[in-house]
Amino acid sequence: MATENKNLSAYDKATIPDANDFRFGIVVSEWNDSITEPLYQGAYDALIDNGVSPSNIVRWDVPGSFELIYGSKKMQEQMVNAVIAIGSVIQGETKHFDFVCQGVAQGIKDLNVMHETPVIFCVLTDNNLEQAQARSGGKHGNKGTEAAIAAIKMAELRRNS
């Protein structure tokens, strides 16, 4: 597994671009909010830790992970330097998990290909609640933190390209 022995919250602040002029959008799924709220907090805290003003962080909530695509598309129109899409899909007994995960991954990929504002994929796709908890502030750290650092780096790439 990709997160084995890896803390998703660990980063070297000296390697992170100056983010104090950037504006970020964060789109958060309300579904599995016991997971998405800690992911949001990890992203928010990492942005603040790297110089982003609270007034330069815009949060929108959407009902579920599938709706992250539309929310992220509309957020791209809001003069932000990068968007972070936060969701959590946990395996159930039906194929719904597969369809949602595939659709969201493809939708976020399409937004990155079609538009200039990067969208960071921070959607946990876990087999069970314990795995999701381990990646949203548990033993593997917080994927939200990792997504925020990726957003800063992609905003810098966009600015310099």
Tokens matching residue 106: 């493809």
Predicted pLDDT at 2: 57
Predicted pLDDT at 92: 82
* Cα 85 from Cα 40, distance rounded (Å): 9
CA contacts within 13 A on the Cβ side of 52: 28
CA contacts within 13 A on the Cβ side of 84: 31
* Cα 86 from Cα 83, distance rounded (Å): 10
| DSSP-assigned letter for residue 54 | G
Measured CA angle at 79 (ends 74, 82), to 5 deg:
80
Predicted pLDDT at 7: 79
Residue 2's contacts (CB-CB under 8 Å, 6 or more residues apart) are none
Residue 138's contacts (CB-CB under 8 Å, 6 or more residues apart) are none
Check the CA dihedral 11-15-21-27 and report its sign: negative
Residues of the chain with pLDDT under 50: 1
Domain 22-160 maps to which CATH number in 2.60.40.1730, 3.40.50.960, 3.30.479.30, 3.40.50.1820?
Answer: 3.40.50.960
Least Cα distance to 148 among 6, 9, 3, 7 occurs for 9
* Cα 98 from Cα 35, distance rounded (Å): 19
Q: Which residues are known to be catalytic?
A: 96
Interval 79-122: pLDDT, tens: 999 999 999 999 988 888 889 999 999 999 999 999 999 999 99
Predicted pLDDT at 10: 87
